[in-house]
């Protein structure tokens, strides 16, 4: 241990601590319980990569090739990584940024971190934070406790054997909190570029430099992340994939991978873009590609069985073969129904599993101007309907609606499929159009869907989630 320490490159503070603690170990009786604790501590000091770093790959064209090969799309993230490397190459030393990739499940956040490590030729470390509720998991226990251990950050760096790995903090939005402490507050020191050069682990009792580590956090949502923690990270949003992107991902990555996993060769099975598109539209409903990967695995299992049993089959899978391989279709995209009556408008809805169309129906009955809303609507959606009606009342003259019609009509707005909760501000323009159509007795133009929040001034605010609201082409709109 002493010989190993002589060749170790480490800070003066760590070297002094080692010499002091080894002196204590020499004076200690090997039979006492504290002897093994002291041995474990000294071994940790020796095995930690204090000033040991892997050499970065500064061939930026090669890095871009690796990232493009491993992941289709995700241009914003790739550009950010290349910018960081370019500055690192020119400056020689730079505090690593703390990136947070936010997006729906299955879009490739974690695998992107693995690709970044491969492209940079750095070590890769992944730490899942889902359900973590003990602060000691981050900062470690004090040495005086029985069974004390360093935190998982220090343990991971010890395993990596380098002080500058790509460190994935998975599911940062699912960190728990209880009487044992608040891990998300402990992460503030880890994920602050100004503080993490002097990270303090309770077990180590020394400051450790984390500023060379490239931390990449992943999250499905920003709403549950502590605001102070959110402020320390650079947020990069990864939206869901469109149909065309999913087809390309399946052709380039998923199908070849599943084919190899099932012991098949390229001559055993061929999947066309048409077949993959049918699988996406009728057997999956998601923003990412996990479910698509499982369905492709189902096709490969079916082919593998036929190859193994030497049964005749079509090498080129056809759309009509999918019923036999995957069973009946699971999802039917909302078929557009051309509505010639007034009072009906079509909206675009965002869901966590992709886009859907939403029919909003309104009708007038004789009454005293009351507004009734049905269809399992949330508070925000109810407010949109009230705002839309107020706008119509304020501009009734311009819209050609008489005051008598407004005063002597009860208005009923209904959104079908009442079993499904619906909320969000983006239905505002659709509500306004449906109500205006009902009052003026003019049908809305067919094959037109809309999205956007409405204000009392009649402004339509900018909308988000356009890719998620993308409607499958087979919906015949």
89-128 per-position pLDDT tens digit = 787 766 767 888 888 888 888 888 888 888 888 889 998 8
What's the pLDDT at 423? 77
Tell me whether strands 354-366 and 371-374 are parallel, antiparallel or unpaired: unpaired
What's the pLDDT at 273? 86
The answer to whether 469 is a known catalytic residue is yes
Q: Tens digits of per-residue pLDDT, 193-247?
A: 788 788 888 888 888 888 888 888 898 888 888 888 888 888 888 877 878 888 8
Domain ranges of the chain: 2-47, 60-237, 243-326, 344-472
Residues 152-179, mean pLDDT to the nearest whole number: 85
Predicted TM-score (pTM) of this structure: 0.74
Looking at the predicted structure, is the pLDDT value of residue 333 above 70? Answer: no
Tell me whether strands 199-200 and 207-208 are parallel, antiparallel or unpaired: antiparallel
Looking at residue 446, the DSSP 8-state letter turns out to be S
What's the pLDDT at 296? 92
Looking at the predicted structure, is the pLDDT value of residue 474 above 70? Answer: no
Residues 325-352, mean pLDDT to the nearest whole number: 75
The answer to whether 426 is a known catalytic residue is yes
Q: CATH fold of 60-237, please?
A: Rossmann fold (3.40.50)
What's the pLDDT at 355? 66
Mean pLDDT score of the chain: 83
pLDDT band per the 50, 70, 90 thresholds, residue 476? very low
Instruction: State the CB neighbour count (10 A cutoff) for residue 61.
Output: 7
> Catalytic: which of 109, 212, 281, 469?
469
Listed in sequence order, the residues at least 6 apart from 113 whose beta carbon sits closer than 8 Å to its beta carbon are: 101, 124, 126, 166, 168, 216, 218
Helix, coil or strand: residue 99 = strand
> Catalytic: which of 287, 426, 459, 467?
426
CATH number of 344-472: 3.30.230.10
Q: Which two tokens stand for residue 390?
A: 């107020």
The CATH class, in words, for 243-326 is mainly alpha
């Amino acid at each position: 241990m002493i010989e190993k320490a002589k060749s170790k490159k480490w800070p003066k503070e760590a070297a002094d601590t080692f010499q002091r603690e080894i002196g204590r170990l020499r004076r200690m009786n090997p039979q006492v319980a504290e002897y093994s604790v002291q041995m474990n501590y000294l071994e940790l000091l020796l095995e930690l990569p204090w000033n040991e770093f892997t050499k970065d790959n500064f061939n930026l064209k090669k890095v871009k090739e690796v990232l493009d090969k491993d992941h289709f799309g995700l241009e914003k993230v790739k550009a950010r990584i290349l910018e960081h490397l370019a500055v690192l190459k020119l400056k020689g030393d730079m505090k690593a940024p703390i990136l947070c990739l936010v997006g729906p499940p299955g879009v490739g956040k974690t695998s992107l971190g693995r690709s970044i490590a491969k492209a940079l030729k750095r070590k890769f470390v992944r730490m899942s934070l889902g359900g973590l509720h003990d602060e000691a998991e981050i900062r470690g226990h004090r040495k005086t406790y029985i069974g004390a251990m360093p935190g998982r950050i220090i343990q991971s760096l010890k395993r990596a054997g380098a002080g500058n790995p790509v460190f994935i903090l998975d599911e940062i939005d699912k960190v728990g909190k209880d009487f044992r402490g608040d891990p998300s507050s402990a992460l503030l020191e880890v994920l602050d570029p100004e503080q993490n050069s002097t990270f303090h682990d309770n077990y180590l009792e020394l400051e450790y430099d984390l500023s060379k580590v490239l931390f990449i956090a992943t999250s499905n949502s920003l709403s549950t992340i502590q605001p102070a923690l959110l402020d320390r990270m650079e947020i990069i949003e990864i939206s869901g994939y469109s149909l065309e992107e999913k087809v390309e991902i399946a052709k380039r990555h998923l199908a070849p991978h599943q084919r190899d996993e099932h012991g098949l060769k390229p001559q055993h099975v061929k999947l066309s873009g048409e077949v993959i598109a049918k699988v996406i539209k009728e057997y999956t409903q998601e923003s990412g590609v996990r479910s698509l990967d499982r369905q492709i695995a189902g096709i490969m299992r079916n082919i593998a069985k036929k190859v193994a049993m030497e049964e005749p089959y079509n090498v080129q899978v056809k759309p009509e073969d999918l019923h036999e391989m995957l069973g009946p279709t699971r999802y039917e995209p909302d078929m557009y129904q051309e509505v010639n009556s007034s009072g009906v408008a079509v909206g675009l809805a965002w869901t966590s599993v992709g886009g859907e169309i939403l029919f909003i129906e309104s009708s007038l009955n004789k009454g005293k101007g009351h507004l009734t809303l049905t269809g399992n609507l949330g508070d925000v959606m109810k407010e949109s309907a009230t705002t839309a009606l107020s706008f119509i009342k304020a501009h009734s003259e311009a819209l050609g609606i008489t005051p008598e019609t407004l005063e002597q009509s009860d208005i009923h707005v209904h959104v079908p499929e009442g079993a499904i909760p619906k909320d969000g501000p983006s239905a505002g323009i659709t509500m306004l159009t449906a109500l205006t159509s009902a009052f003026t007795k003019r049908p809305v133009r067919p094959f037109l869907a809309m999205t956007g929040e409405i204000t009392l001034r009649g402004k339509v605010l900018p909308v988000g989630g356009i890719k998620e609201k993308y409607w499958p082409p087979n919906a015949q709109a």
